[in-house]
Amino acid sequence: MYLSSGGGVIGGGQHQNVNNAAKQFVDLAQNFLEKTTNTETTPLPLTDEVKFYLLTNKGIRVGQEQVKNLENNSSQWLKLFEEGNNVLTELRKTIEK
């Protein structure tokens, strides 16, 4: 998993808790494909914006949302955002061990 801060974690999927969380994230992401558009580039999000890049067998898809909509629970992307945070939580738990 790569973060916009420039950091990332490699190998987290070898841990069952991270593996399970990542699979749930990917499964849920399938439900958001129709909300995305095709892209060939992956620029960082603007300030106060979140981008979701979904790699499919037909290329990269992107969706975006304003942070304020996630914070006030009005976003159609909220479930995917929360599931992504769950993957990060499981990664942090594993790293802290």
pTM of the model: 0.86
Every domain of the chain and the residues it spans: 12-96
Q: How many CB atoms lie within 10 A of CB 25?
A: 18
State the alpha helices, DSSP H only, in 1-97. Answer: 16-29, 67-71, 78-96
Q: How many helices (H) and strands (E) does the chain have?
A: 3, 3
3-42 pLDDT, tens digit each: 666 666 667 778 899 999 999 999 999 999 999 999 999 9
